Chains A and B, each alone.
Chain A
Amino acid sequence: MSNATAVLQLRGIHKKFPGVHALKGVDFTLRPGEIHALLGENGAGKSTLIKVMTGVYTRDGGDILLDGQPIFPASTGDAQALGISTVYQEVNLLPNLTVAHNIYLGREPKRWGLIDWKTINQRSRELLKNYDLDIDVTQPLSSYSIAVQQLIAIARGVDMSAKVLILDEPTASLDADEVQSLFRIMRSLKERGIGIVFVTHFLDQVYAVCDRITILRNAELVGEFEAATLTRPELVGHMLGKELAALEDRLHQTTSESAAAPALTLTQVGRPGTLEPVDLQVAQGEVVGLAGLLGSGRTELCRLIFGVDKKQSGTMVFQGKTIHLSSTKEAIDLGMGLCPEDRKHDGILGPLSIRENIILAQQIKQGWWRFIPRKQQNAIAEKYVKDINIATSDIEKPIEQLSGGNQQKVILARWLASNPSLLLLDEPTRGIDIGAHAEIIKLIRQLCEQGLSLIVASSELEELVAFSDKVVVLRDRRKVAELTGSDIQPDTIMRAIASA
């Protein structure tokens, strides 16, 4: 594509953080009047790229051209002034201000030196009519649904003379009708010549509105494709790093077929808005892999099983007993454990020591009055530091000072120390270096040999193939396939993920 027809062009963008090379020479070209999907799994570099475009981060290398002119946005305000507007999933407007004030904040029209509310309200009303919104603009933003708020955010952005509109996961919390009306707006904006960058993890939506697709993986550009000619399996292959044709058929070594007693049985377990009812059976000593793209419902399923969210339908039988969890404490008492996906936010207790982080689950299982003596704590911590190779000089070091991989091992150790019979691992290998990655895979294999049941959610197909006895594929918060035995191969999983 020649420069003349590109409204926004990024060339060879580099971005480095301490210890992470988050973007390695990525190119991206947006034409006016197109909807361009930006895809990639977590950690692929999408959000970093967007933050570079919108001035949240400054790039370490490469060029950004807007209408052929190099630009250097230093803040979101800068980018906005240049004509690049962004709308995020969690609408970044102010819930307490009125709808009209949100649209005009920072550029309020004045009369006699004072803010002219009449004009603001009137103009906002007219503006929103273009978006099929006929609402009371003097109400606080928070009195409207997320979908409406998102349209208001789009209206604000476009009204501030946007040439480029970036929509970051806008559909994640919308229902089907709301998505359709958002698409309608997107198409009409496209007709007005605005270039739209659309970040999403719903593949159906990509095909529904997008003209072209750019895919990132591991901080690098995989390629730019025409939506009309890229097939679904090809798309998934690019995202997950496997070319379908290049996949060698590898037979899965099946372990002892499910003669073992079921450890956990889910029958139609679900939660409206979070997960469609799911059936699932996990046998003693079995590893069940949960496959699916980001947002497919993997994390949601883990949370329901562990009682973080309460299930609203279906029955759950754990070790022969029907259970109704109302808190995670009950799950822990029953012998479950969960390594959450967002390690930093939900997993580690940053300022506390490695020792304390390791013994906590067991302590909670025992109850607060039966304190684990310090000597025993040290012994437990030392044992796991050695057994699973946590790289640290001192078990008293705050866990926040460890690398991601070692933090993950500490969280694993926390649950292993509590002697569970079912362990849920949500993306256990995300964001950790290759060495630690291999060790964690090895550990998962060892654990199931010791009779532990495991549910492992992962977006790495190789990984799932390597350790799963059974793979459950989720898409759009629904179970779409269950693969066993020789069916567990990267291409079959991929086909299931991509199937329409």
Chain B
Amino acid sequence: MVNRKFIPLIVTCCLFFLLFGIGSIQFESFGTSRVFFNLLTDNAFLIIAAVGMTFVILSGGIDLSVGAVIALTGVISSVLISQYNWHPLAVFPFVLLLGTGFGAAMGALIYFYKLQPFIVTLAGMFLARGLASVISEESIPITHEFYDAVSMFGFELPGGAWIGTSTIICLLVLIAAIVVAHYTRFGGRVYALGGDNNSAALMGVPLASTTISIYATSSFLATLSGIVYSFYTFSGYSLAAVGVELDAIAAVVIGGTLLTGGYGYVIGTLVGVLIMGVVQTYISFDGTLSSWWTKIVIGILLFCFIAMQRVLSRGR
């Protein structure tokens, strides 16, 4: 018998293959490794952010500040690089540190003042976007040879697929996240928090440090996602990445993670993003369907997965 806890993940994977299969049958050049790896390349930043969101949602929380943190990262990096002539390799650790601190502060507010994650991270979102627009309302281009080198770096796979820097970073993040989630005590504590706060505390899980670390991790990954995002755009803009937090949440849910926390897998989130990517690719291949169908389909998928989780947890 298949372990019950894997059912949502299996459904997610089947759905991906089904959608990819339908596309491949309908369009000649759809079912190629190039299209598949383009899904990774195009959505690398989303995958990184969604992995962070996975930890938050597994613990029973939510982080609405992700998109804003991405934008803020881009703005700070581009200002430091273009106006203060910092080297990108000096900028990245700096913004990652800032981002982690930002998340830790949100986590601390949530834990110590018993505030709801949703409203605290909402304030965080306003704060990050606000800071970004105070620093610059204009889009700031990044011109630096390091960025050129980054965009040139990569290698080609047989079949014409290209693996670039963003894809490599994204895959490394995925591996690291899987190890952390399933093979470290911190990972266990994240699941424990999502299972039952009280029991977790009675079993000796340190709630304060775990909560703070979870939101710090999410913001760290959002910042990293912001850096990767700047590799695509070569610029920093305060209005960039609007609504990415919603895409990330949708990817996590479609990836089979229970929104109430406690059940789910990091790898599912990857498949969740890929499903959303396939839908988008299919719609662009089709040509007659318009882009808004993406949102509607994602909404329907969200509904189906939430309903399925409801049924599964009722049977439990």
Binding site for B on A (CB under 8 A): 75-77, 80, 86, 92-97, 101, 105-106, 108, 114-115, 117, 138-140, 142-143
Contact = CB atoms under 8 A, between A and B. Distances in A.
Contact of B204 (A80, A117, A140): A80
B204 A76 contact: yes
Interface in B2-60: 3-5
Contacts of A105: 188, 192, 203-205
Contacts of B4: 139-140, 143
Given A106-B185, A114-B179, A142-B316, A77 B204 contact: yes
Given A101-B188, A108-B188, A114-B184, A94 B3 contact: no
Contact of B202 (A92, A114, A138, A142): A92
A93 B205 CA distance: 12
B183 A114 contact: yes
B196 A94 contact: yes
20 contacts: A76-B204, A77-B204, A92-B198, A93-B203, A94-B200, A94-B203, A94-B262, A95-B196, A96-B195, A97-B192, A101-B188, A105-B203, A114-B179, A114-B183, A115-B184, A115-B188, A138-B3, A140-B4, A140-B5, A142-B316
A86 B204 CA distance: 13
B265 to A, nearest CB: 12
B191 interface: yes
Which 3 residue pairs spanning A and B have beta carbons closest together?
Answer: A96-B262, A94-B195, A77-B204
Interface string B196-239: 10111111110000000000000000000000000000000000
Contact of B194 (A86, A96, A114, A115): A96
Given A80-B204, A117-B183, A140-B4, 4 more contacts: A95-B195, A106-B204, A115-B182, A139-B5
B282 interface: no
Contacts of B199: 92-94
A96 B202 contact: no
B102 interface: no
Nearest to B201: A76
Contacts, number: 65
B263 interface: yes
A76 B3 CA distance: 33
B183 A139 contact: no
A108 B199 CA distance: 17
Contacts of B203: 92-94, 105-106
Interface of B: 3-5, 179, 182-185, 188, 191-192, 194-196, 198-205, 262-263, 316
A77 B309 CA distance: 33
A259 to B, nearest CB: 52
Contacts of B262: 94-96
Contacts of B182: 115
A80 B202 CA distance: 10
Contacts of A94: 191-192, 195-196, 199-200, 203, 262
A301 to B, nearest CB: 29
Contact of A139 (B3, B192, B196, B201): B3
Given A76-B202, A92-B202, A143-B316, A115 B192 contact: no
A107 B194 CA distance: 19
Contacts of B5: 139-140
A298 B112 CA distance: 41
Nearest to B187: A115
Which of B184, B202, B205 is packed against the most chain A CB atoms within 10 Å?
B202
A230 B188 CA distance: 48
B256 to A, nearest CB: 13
A101 B263 CA distance: 14
Contacts of A140: 4-5, 263
Contacts of B201: 76
Contacts of A92: 196, 198-199, 202-203
Contacts of A77: 204
Contacts of A86: 202
Contacts of B202: 76, 86, 92
A93 B194 CA distance: 12
A202 to B, nearest CB: 25
Contacts of A143: 4, 316
A97 B183 contact: no
Contacts of B192: 94, 97, 105
Contacts of B194: 96
Nearest to A160: B204
Nearest to A88: B202
Contacts of A138: 3
Contacts of A80: 204
B184 A96 contact: no
Nearest to A77: B204
A92 B192 CA distance: 11
Nearest to A140: B5
A114 B3 CA distance: 23
Contacts of A117: 183
A93 B204 CA distance: 11
Contacts of A114: 179, 183-184
Contact of A96 (B179, B185, B191): B191
A86 B199 CA distance: 12
A57 B70 CA distance: 44
Nearest to B196: A94
B200 A96 contact: no
A94 B202 CA distance: 10
Nearest to A94: B195
A314 B224 CA distance: 66
A452 to B, nearest CB: 41
Contacts of A76: 201-202, 204
A75 B204 CA distance: 9
Contacts of A106: 185, 203-205
Contacts of A108: 185, 188
Contacts of B184: 114-115
A301 B204 CA distance: 39
Contacts of A142: 316
Nearest to B192: A94
A77 B189 CA distance: 15
Which of B184, B204, B316 is packed against the most chain A CB atoms within 10 Å?
B204
Nearest to B263: A96
A97 B188 contact: yes
B302 to A, nearest CB: 21
Contacts of A115: 182-185, 188
A385 B194 CA distance: 45
B185 A97 contact: no
A453 B205 CA distance: 52
Nearest to B200: A94
Which of B5, B179, B185, B195 is packed against the most chain A CB atoms within 10 Å?
B195
A115 B262 CA distance: 19
A130 B1 CA distance: 26
A168 to B, nearest CB: 12
A114 B205 CA distance: 18
A138 B179 CA distance: 18
A139 B199 CA distance: 19
Contacts of B205: 105-106
A93 B182 CA distance: 19
